[in-house]
Structure 1
Amino acid sequence: MRSAAEHLAQVLVVVPPPAFEVVPLAEALGAVCATDVHAAVALPPFDNSAMDGYAVRAADVAVATEGAPVGLAVTGESAAGHPWDGSVGPGQAVRIMTGAPVPVGADAVIPQERVAATDGTVLVDAPAPLGAYVRRRGEDAGEGDLVVPAGTLLGARHLAAAASSGVARVMVTRAPRVAYLVTGDELVAPGGSLGPGQIFESNAVYLEAALRALGAVPVALGAVGDSPGDVLAAVAAADADLVVTTGGASVGAHDPVKAGLAPAGVDFVEVAIQPGKPQGLGTVSGMPVICLPGNPVAVAVCVEVFVGPAVRAMRGVPEPAWVPMRALEGWRCPPGREQVMPVVTAAAGVRPATAGGSGSHLAARLAAADGLARVRADLDEVAAGDIVAVRRFTA
């Protein structure tokens, strides 16, 4: 039996490395930056005012006091996008707006609240330190400075920083296309009517949402009945970087995924994990394929433990850490298999999300969990107070 760590290592061997593309900033949200982004220009690109007020020469108002204000002649105005094209000489001031270029000759800005303005003149009753309220060219970033490092998951603030620096397009890791296939003659679409022995299908709903949350582009292959030929045909025709199947991968008499894909190049193995023991991994005509069990909780666990890392590897995203947390109550574990238990996390520790433990059929109760706890295969019990490895759901 293969350990979960060994199986994950094999999964990461099968999936392709990241692929890259250059996209406009408007299309880059949520993508991973593939190369460092450097400022195309200095930021800000010119000295500009941090306040609405008057651009002055600091030397002209150095002796200004409340009792003896200094009068300056207002010779022009500098507004954002409409700079004053003259210069500020001795005894002069220029009306200036926030963000407007500081005129030649001026070396300080006095906020308008601190002056008394009359027609063509401004009275200043206190000195203005050199550089007061002036944003210097390049004080945020110099031309060529690193603005967004490679590997950054691009959010709105990163895109704004790139845009402010004059960058219009970025190279990103292309979101992988992950196709998914669900099998089972017993499956009925939600909202339909159940016949004898039938159940509502939930794995497709889960995989569509989970893959999207992981940053992949989900590709639905639809529901395939218990026909090995149909399974193989659907997988072989998939336009994707990876195919994930659910169900039909065990040792039953009607396991169409195993029957259809094993001859085509997928190895079906037992993994020492609970839930999720029956697994398949390989390629079909060069297409990587991960075959998961069909029970919904097993699917959720295996997506977190195997499919999520595969998608992150294809995106160039680091794996989130599992952190040690204290068990607030005890539970039993299957001997010889690593247990992955749906849990509810709190500041003090974690507890099982349901009284049913990690049973792979407890689909409705999975919603009560907000994370997973991993218990080593050599343990058959977790006692209250024990430390387990925990991670919140990533999908």
Structure 2
Amino acid sequence: MRRIRKTRSKDGKFRFSRSRFISLIILISVCAFSAWFFYEALYTQATDDWFESQAGISDRVSLPKDDAPHQAAMEWWYYNGHLSSESGKEFSFHYTVFLINNVIHHMVSHASLNDHQTGRHYKAQRRTAGNPSSNKENSFEFIQGDWHMMGGNGNDKLKIITDKFSLDLGLTNTQPPALHGGNGIIPLKDAGDSYYYSRTRMNAAGVIKIGDKTEKVTGISWFDHQWGEFLVGLLKWEWFSLQLDDGADVMIYQLRDKETNEPILYSGSISKHGKTETLLAKDFEVIPGKKWISNQSNIAYPTEWVINIPSKNINLSVKSINESNEFDAMLTTYNIYWEGAIKVQGSHTGQGFMELYYMDKMH
């Protein structure tokens, strides 16, 4: 490396030459700008940009190969579940890992646990630079300190440890995966297209801990894996996963334009005994009822809905178990959404989960 030239002045002191001094200032400025750019990209990216990528779909979903991570701009692995303890207590949880591969690669995890006895909603989130997933064939493994999500081919493990709650579960699939859209590809209209499949009934067993109280639990979990090149930031949505007591499992989503609130796409799937059928907009209706308004965000979330699927003689009333289930993810994914367990009544009974993403005030 060349030395920076110094010259001796008449007073005997060493000084940088003018040209070297200017070069040093430019170098410092470039380094400072680079540091600022990477900070902005990693920590202050706007919601739309955080989700942004371009559509590109070619093949149908192939399992267990597609359990593993892909070279997609956006990808997530998502679980929800209903759990019962040996003492008869009821709980529900959700745990999601997002991989984002844009200018900066990073991983985000969201987790929550609901105590149905007390109505307490425990939440936690983490963000890690880079991609800490392991390159394993036909499987996935994500480790963020003492948070673990790993599995493949329907044999999975989840572990979350926080200062307020902990969860350690093993999950086993009980029936064939549901490939949404018929081949595992769903259209998102102007937002692009997405690969998407679910394991709709996974037996869950393990332990949860709230405070200093540990409970052995069993239950049923739902797993989603979705990836592709799409623009989720353009959309609002309502999403439902329903596990009916007669063995049918239903996934329904409604997409709307984020700016105009106009409907873009209604679609879904119904699975039973290993057979999955695609539901189009004409096949069902989803009607909002009572709303809960968040004191924090002032967003109004419908927490009661009517879901009708006439061709299947399904007429359901779904209701949140805990209305106060808003998840403030501004620290990690720069958004706010509602995620929680629901009760299912009507022509069929069962349980499920609901996700509502609006990000602005609804009236």
Where is the strand percentage greater, Structure 1 or Structure 2?
2
Please tell me whether Structure 1 or Structure 2 has the larger radius of gyration of its CA atoms.
1
More contact order relative to length (CA 8 Å, sep ≥ 6): 1
TM-score range, shorter chain: under 0.3
What is the TM-score of this pair, normalised by structure 2?
0.25
